[in-house]
């Protein structure tokens, strides 16, 4: 019998996400998937499984969860306060969630999107080849209290592992490349874009993030009559009043508002994770620098399994000490036998 | 600017091959045909292709396929033939979609007609008699850009977005119509309302329209449209085109 994870209480932005649904761009359906794909890769590395498995994405805050069998879980992305039966569960780490135990995940203390990955992955019927909810397309739905998620068979492995995540939870400098509409903007507008300190607006979702600044808007002549053209995640779209939006995983596939530049895929999690009010700055890099940055990020992702180390737990904080056990023949580690 | 077609980058992992700066029938045919050719090539490192109104798009993995190599492959394919002379895609169909123009269902008919220099009656006649073609599917799943409308309809998008138009809304700007597949904010002017459902993720053929299909928006009344809402096609009829 397969395991299930029941949602006892759900924050307002819980969805099932994986790497998305490529192949339907020509039919107007964007790839979607997790807004912080690195966090999925981190969760997969902690559990020793492929990053193609689906996890629960939590926007802003988490919820309360209970499993009907022992599950291995990993908590990644925006740091949230997590407890298993009242004992603190360290973020950016893997844990055993014993059958019947309550996992509660509170509001984000750094970043915007947290991820709950499960050994074996979240199942459910794929739609057009993926399990990701794509809410703007009407695929899937927000998770709510009472939902029961089927969990895939877990190949097993260690829990109680942690790592140091790439810092991407407080805004900062974002690298962008010129796109095919960048030269619609005058050179001094591009200079001003790079000199401006933007703040992430509270208005943000899986489609995109609105940017605020104190200066005037950014403008092109004839901006309202540009032919609708292909859009990619990371595009910085400038709407009619001159406000830039950075488009994320669930963006539209074409659009008529001009794009002033495109964020590198490896820097996009930093935009998605920036909390409301965080500073964001943009810097143009060459295509070669952009490809080099993507290569470095891919290498860092591939090295994640080697970056893991055992959690050093404080036994005094482990109210459920006796419930800790190893599953599927993992090798005993010091902190598990304290 | 160099002569079309031009090859430009879209982000660090995308290439856009554009056949014109403005929409035209030959450029649209070229974009559709070139995208089909790219898809047929199946190059290693290419992850996804699509077409927009006058361009074909390639998303690729720049760590597997360099920009220089892909650029060269694309240029060689461009040189193979006159893409502007390409035929429309095969298997095209003609759709008649019942539409309520104006009323409180489509409140911007009046202002759009005025922008086009037409009375409301003239605007309805013009829009309902036009036989338009799906030039591309984009923005939202299954959502067509349709054209080309008579020159009077070369009106700009609104500066302020309409916060919300419903699924099935018909909107106009730039000598084109868009038929919305989802509820969305838009800068286009909402002139008609249909009951058509363009994207249904749970049925065997989730996307109703295809690029190349022809569409006419025939007039109906509010009561008839309300009855058509139980039909996923919203009362639309469809016949094959030779």
Query: CB distance A253–B48 less than 8 Å?
Result: no
- With CB atoms and an 8 Å threshold, state whether B11 touches A232: yes
Please say if the pLDDT value at position A336 is more than 80. Answer: no
Using CB atoms, pick whichever of B62, B156, B182 lies closest to residue A225: B156
Evaluate if residue B240 carries a pLDDT over 70: yes
Question: Contact at 8 Å (CB) between A140 and A54?
Answer: no
Contact assessment for residue B20 and residue B2, using Cβ atoms and an 8 Å cutoff: no
Minimal Cβ distance to B52: which of A27, A137, A228: A228
Closest CA to B212 of B92, B84, B130, B95: B92
Task: Please determine, for residue A319, whether its predicted confidence score (pLDDT) is greater than 90.
Answer: no
Beta-strand (E) ranges in chain A? Answer: 3-10, 14-17, 55-59, 63-67, 71-84, 87-88, 93-97, 102-118, 148-151, 161-162, 172-177, 198-204, 208-212, 229-230, 235-238, 244-247, 254-255, 259-263, 279-284, 309-310
- The answer, for A287 touching chain B at a CB cutoff of 8 Å, is yes
pLDDT of residue A23: 94
Question: Residue A253: closest CA among chain B residues belongs to which residue?
Answer: B139
Which of A26, A178, A229, A292 would best serve as a mutation to test chain B binding (most B beta carbons within 10 A)?
A26
pTM of the model: 0.91
**Is the confidence at residue B184, as pLDDT, over 90?**
no
Residue A228 with chain B: CB contacts under 8 Å: 52-53, 138-139, 145
Residue A222 confidence (pLDDT): 60
pLDDT digits (tens, 9 = 90+) for A68-91: 999 999 999 999 999 999 999 999
Contact A253 B140 (CB under 8 A): yes
**What is the predicted pLDDT for the residue at A77?**
98
- Of the residues B12, B167, B210, the best mutation for testing chain A's interface (the one with the most A CB atoms within 10 Å of its CB) is B12
Mean pLDDT (whole number) for A234-256: 93
CB-based burial label for B222 (10 Å; 0-12, 13-18, 19+) = exposed
| A125 interface with B at CB cutoff 8 Å | no
B36 touches chain A (CB under 8 A): no
Q: Do B159 and A240 lie within an 8 Å CB cutoff?
A: yes
Contacting residues of B for A139, CB less than 8 Å apart: 201
For residue B181, the chain A residue with the least C-alpha distance is: A137
Is B46's Cβ below 8 Å from some Cβ in A? Answer: no
pLDDT band at A204 (very low <50, low <70, confident <90, very high): confident
For residue A313, the model assigns a pLDDT of 63
Interface of A with B in 1-60 (CB under 8 A): 22-29, 31
* Nearest CA distance, B79 vs chain A (angstrom): 22
Nearest CA in chain B to A23: B48
How many residue contacts between A and B have a Cβ separation below 8 Å?
Answer: 148
Q: Which helix (H) or strand (E) holds A12?
A: none
Structure tokens at A87: 């004992």
Would you call B150 an interface residue with chain A, using a CB distance cutoff of 8 Å?
Answer: no
Q: Which residues of B touch A177 (CB under 8 A)?
A: 9, 11-12
Is residue B207 less than 8 Å (CB to CB) from chain A?
Answer: yes
Whether residue A180 contacts residue B10, with contact meaning beta carbons closer than 8 Å, is answered with: yes
B89 close contact with A: CB closer than 8 A: no
Task: Summarize pLDDT for B204-239 with one digit per residue, the tens.
Answer: 899 999 999 999 999 999 999 999 999 989 999 999
Burial B128-146 (b: 16+ CB within 10 A, else e): eebebbbbbbbbbbbbbbb
pLDDT exceeds 80 at position A226? no
User: What tens digit of pLDDT does each residue of B4-44 get?
Assistant: 999 999 999 999 999 999 889 999 999 999 999 999 999 99
Task: List beta partners, residue B193.
Answer: B100, B169
CB contact under 8 A, B143 and A28: yes
What is the per-residue pLDDT across A103-119, written as a single tens digit (0 to 9) for each?
A: 999 999 999 999 999 99
Q: Is the pLDDT of residue A330 over 50?
A: no
The predicted complex's ipTM stands at 0.91
- Which pLDDT score is estimated for B187? 86
DSSP lists the bridge partners of residue A77 as A114
* C-alpha span between A126 and A114 (Å, rounded): 22
Q: Which of A124, A235, A254 is nearest to A174 (CA)?
A: A235
Contact A287 B136 (CB under 8 A): no
Which run of H or E residues covers position B60? strand B55-60
Q: B residues 174-193 near A, CB within 8 Å?
A: 174, 181-182, 184, 187
pLDDT confidence of residue A315: 59
Output the six-digit token pair for A98.
Answer: 């014993």
How confident is the model over B104-133, as pLDDT tens digits?
A: 999 999 999 999 999 999 999 999 999 999
Check if the beta carbon of residue B134 is closer than 8 Å to that of residue B213. yes
Rounded to a whole number of angstroms, the CA Rg of chain A reads: 21
pLDDT (0 to 100) of residue B2: 59
Closest residue to A291, CB basis, from B12, B53, B207: B12
Q: Which of B143, B162, B164, B152 has the alpha carbon at shortest distance from B213?
A: B143
So what's the pLDDT on residue A327? 42
Write out pLDDT tens, residues B49-99. 999 999 999 999 999 999 999 999 999 999 999 999 999 988 999 999 999
A210-224, A229-243, A278-292, range with the lowest pLDDT: A210-224
- pLDDT of residue A335 exceeding 50: no
B14 touches chain A (CB under 8 A): yes
Per-chain mean pLDDT for chain A: 91
**Is residue A286 within 8 angstroms of chain B, CB to CB?**
no
Cβ neighbours of residue A314 under 8 Å, at least 6 residues apart? none
B145 → closest Cβ in A228, A241, A291: A228
Calculate the dihedral angle through the C-alpha atoms of B213, B110, B117, B236, rounding to the nearest 10 degrees. Answer: 20
CA pair distance A320, A100, nearest whole angstrom: 13
pLDDT higher than threshold 50 for residue A333:
no
CB-CB under 8 Å, A23 with B52: no
Lowest average pLDDT, out of A282-291, A301-310, B36-45, B150-159, goes to B150-159
Q: Classify strands A279-284 and A172-177 as parallel, antiparallel or unpaired.
A: parallel
Give the mean pLDDT of B149-165.
90
Residues A251-289: pLDDT tens digits? 999 988 899 999 999 999 999 999 999 999 999 999 999
Least confident of A219-233, B6-20, B188-202: A219-233
Put simply, the answer to whether B159 touches A235 (Cβ < 8 Å) is no
Q: What pLDDT is recorded for position B199?
A: 95
Put simply, the answer to whether A137 touches B201 (Cβ < 8 Å) is yes
By the CB < 8 Å criterion, does A184 face chain B?
no
Q: Which pLDDT belongs to residue B145? A: 95
Q: What are phi and psi of B138, to 5 degrees?
A: -175, 180
- Pick from A27, A250, A265, A295 the residue to mutate for testing the B interface (most B CBs within 10 Å): A27
Q: Do A25 and B139 touch (CB under 8 A)?
A: no
Neighbours of A203 (CB within 10 A): 12
């Amino acid at each position: 019998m397969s395991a299930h994870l029941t949602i006892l209480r759900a924050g307002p932005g819980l969805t099932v996400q994986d790497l998305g649904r490529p192949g339907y761009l020509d039919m107007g359906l964007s790839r979607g998937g997790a807004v912080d794909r690195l966090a999925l890769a981190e969760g997969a590395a902690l559990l020793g499984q492929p990053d193609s498995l689906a996890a629960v994405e939590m926007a802003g805050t988490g919820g309360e969860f209970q499993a009907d069998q022992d599950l291995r879980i990993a908590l990644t992305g925006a740091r949230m306060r997590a407890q298993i039966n009242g004992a603190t569960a360290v973020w950016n780490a893997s844990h055993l969630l014993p059958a019947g135990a309550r996992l509660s995940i509170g509001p984000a203390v750094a970043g915007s999107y947290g991820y709950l990955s499960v050994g074996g992955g979240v199942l459910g019927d794929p739609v057009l080849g993926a399990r990701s909810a794509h809410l703007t397309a009407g695929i899937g739905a927000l998770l709510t209290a009472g939902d029961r998620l089927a969990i895939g068979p877990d190949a097993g492995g260690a829990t109680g592992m942690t790592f140091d995540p790439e810092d991407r939870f407080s805004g900062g400098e974002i690298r962008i490349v010129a796109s095919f509409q960048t030269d619609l903007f005058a050179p001094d507008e591009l200079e001003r874009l790079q000199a401006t300190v933007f703040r992430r607006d509270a208005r943000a979702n899986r489609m995109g993030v609105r940017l605020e600044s104190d200066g005037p808007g950014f403008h092109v002549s004839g901006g309202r009559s540009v032919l609708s053209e292909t859009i990619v995640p990371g595009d910085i779209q400038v709407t009619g009043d001159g406000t830039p939006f950075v488009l994320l995983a669930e963006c539209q596939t074409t659009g008529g508002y001009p794009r002033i530049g495109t964020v590198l895929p490896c820097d996009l999690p930093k935009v998605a994770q920036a909390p409301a009010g965080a500073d964001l700055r943009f810097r143009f890099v060459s295509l070669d620098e952009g490809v080099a940055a993507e290569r470095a990020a891919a290498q860092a992702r591939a090295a994640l399994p080697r970056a893991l180390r055992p959690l050093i737990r404080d036994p005094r904080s482990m109210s459920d000490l006796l419930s800790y056990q190893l599953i599927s023949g993992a090798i005993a580690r010091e902190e598990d036998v304290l | 600017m160099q002569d079309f077609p031009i090859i430009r980058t879209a982000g660090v992992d995308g290439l856009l091959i554009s056949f014109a700066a403005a929409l035209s029938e030959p450029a649209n045919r070229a974009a559709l045909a070139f995208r089909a050719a790219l898809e047929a090539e199946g190059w290693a490192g290419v992850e996804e292709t699509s077409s927009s109104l006058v361009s074909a798009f390639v998303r690729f993995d720049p760590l597997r396929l360099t920009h220089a190599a892909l650029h060269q492959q694309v240029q060689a394919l461009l040189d193979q033939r006159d893409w502007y002379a390409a035929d429309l895609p095969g298997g095209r169909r003609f759709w008649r979609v019942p539409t309520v123009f104006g009323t409180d269902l489509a409140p911007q008919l009046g202002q759009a007609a005025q922008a086009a220099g037409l009375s409301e009656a003239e605007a309805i006649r013009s829009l309902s008699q036009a036989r338009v073609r799906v030039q591309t599917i984009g923005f939202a799943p299954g959502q067509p850009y349709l054209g080309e409308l008579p020159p009077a309809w070369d009106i700009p998008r609104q500066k302020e977005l309409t916060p919300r138009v419903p699924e099935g809304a018909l909107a106009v700007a730039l000598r084109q119509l868009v038929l919305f597949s989802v509820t969305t904010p838009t800068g286009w002017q909402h002139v008609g309302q249909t009951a058509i459902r363009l994207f249904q993720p749970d049925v065997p053929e989730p996307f109703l329209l295809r690029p190349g299909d022809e569409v006419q928006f025939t007039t109906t009344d509010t009561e008839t449209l309300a009855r058509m809402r139980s039909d996923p096609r919203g009362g639309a009829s469809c016949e094959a085109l030779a």
